[in-house]
Amino acid sequence: MIPVRATGLLHTFAEAGVLAAADVHVALRLARLGGEADETVLLAAALAVRGVRTGSVCVELATVADTVAPADDLDGALDGDPADGELDGVGTAVEVTELPWPADWSAVGRSPVVAVGVDAAWRPLRWVDGLLYLDRYWQQEQLVRHELDARAAQPPPAVDLAPLGTLFAEPGSDRQRLAAAVAAGRWVSVITGGPGTGKTHTVARLLKLLVDQPGPPPRIALAAPTGKAAARLQESVRAQAAAIGLPVDLTASTLHRLLGWRPDSRSRFRHDAADRLPFDVVVVDESSMVPLTLMARLLEAVRPSARLVLVGDPDQLTPVEAGAVLSDLVHRPPAAVPPVPGLLDSNVDDLDDDERRQLANGVVRLRDSHRFGAGIGALAEAIRTGDADETVRLLAAGGALGRGEDTDELEAVVRSSGAEMFAAAADGDRVTALGLLGGHRLLCAHRQGPFGVAAWNEQLSRWTRPAGGPASGGWYPGQPLLITANDYDNQLFNGDTGVVVVGEDGLAAAFARGPSTEAIPLSRLSSVTTAHALTVHRSQGSQYEAVTVLLPPPSSPLLTRELLYTAVTRAVHRVRVVGSEESVRAAVGRQVVRASGLRRPVGAGPG
Ligand SMILES: Nc1ncnc2c1ncn2[C@@H]1O[C@H](COP(=O)(O)OP(=O)(O)OP(=O)(O)O)[C@@H](O)[C@H]1O
- Residue 85 clears pLDDT 50, i.e. is over it: no
Q: Which residue has the higher pLDDT, 145 or 227?
A: 145
Number of the ligand 1 atom closest to the C-alpha atom of 197:
21
DSSP state for residue 506 in the 8-state scheme: E
Ligand 1 contacts CB of residue 56 (under 6 A): no
- Residue 368 clears pLDDT 70, i.e. is over it: yes
Q: Judging by DSSP bridges, how do beta strands 571-578 and 533-535 pair with one another? A: unpaired
Mean pLDDT of 444-459: 90
pLDDT tens, residue by residue, 352-361:
777 887 888 8
The answer to the question of whether 54 is labelled as a binding residue is no
Mean pLDDT of 455-477: 79
Q: What is the pLDDT of residue 266?
A: 67
| DSSP code string of 90-135 | ---SS-GGGS---S--GGGGG-TTEEESSSSPP-SEEEETTEEEEH
Report the separation in Å between the CA atom of 236 and the middle of ligand 1, taken as the mean of its atom positions: 9
Pocket test for ligand 1, best of 202, 226, 370 (most atoms within 8 A of CB): 370
Mean pLDDT of 42-62: 88
Nearest to 419 by CA among 451, 455, 382, 463: 463
Q: What is the pLDDT of residue 77?
A: 35
The answer to the question of whether 503 is labelled as a binding residue is no
Mean of per-residue pLDDT scores for the chain: 84
Beta bridge partners of 58: 133
Q: What is the pLDDT of residue 74?
A: 42
Mean pLDDT of 386-398: 93
pLDDT tens, residue by residue, 523-543:
898 889 999 999 998 888 788
Number of the ligand 1 atom closest to the C-alpha atom of 543:
26
Mean pLDDT of 74-93: 34
Q: At a CB cut-off of 8 Å and minimum separation 6, what does 282 contact? A: 220, 221, 223, 258, 298, 302, 306, 307, 308, 309
Ligand 1 contacts CB of residue 288 (under 6 A): no
Ligand 1 contacts CB of residue 370 (under 6 A): yes
3-state secondary structure of 151: helix
pLDDT tens, residue by residue, 501-518:
998 888 999 998 767 888
pLDDT tens, residue by residue, 122-167:
999 999 988 899 999 999 988 998 888 888 888 889 899 989 888 9
pLDDT tens, residue by residue, 204-213:
999 999 999 9
Q: What is the pLDDT of residue 336?
A: 60
3-state secondary structure of 309: strand
Report the separation in Å between the CA atom of 282 and the middle of ligand 1, taken as the mean of its atom positions: 20
Report the separation in Å between the CA atom of 575 and the middle of ligand 1, taken as the mean of its atom positions: 20
The answer to the question of whether 197 is labelled as a binding residue is yes
Lowest mean pLDDT among 9-18, 316-325, 385-394, 450-459: 316-325
Mean pLDDT of 463-484: 79
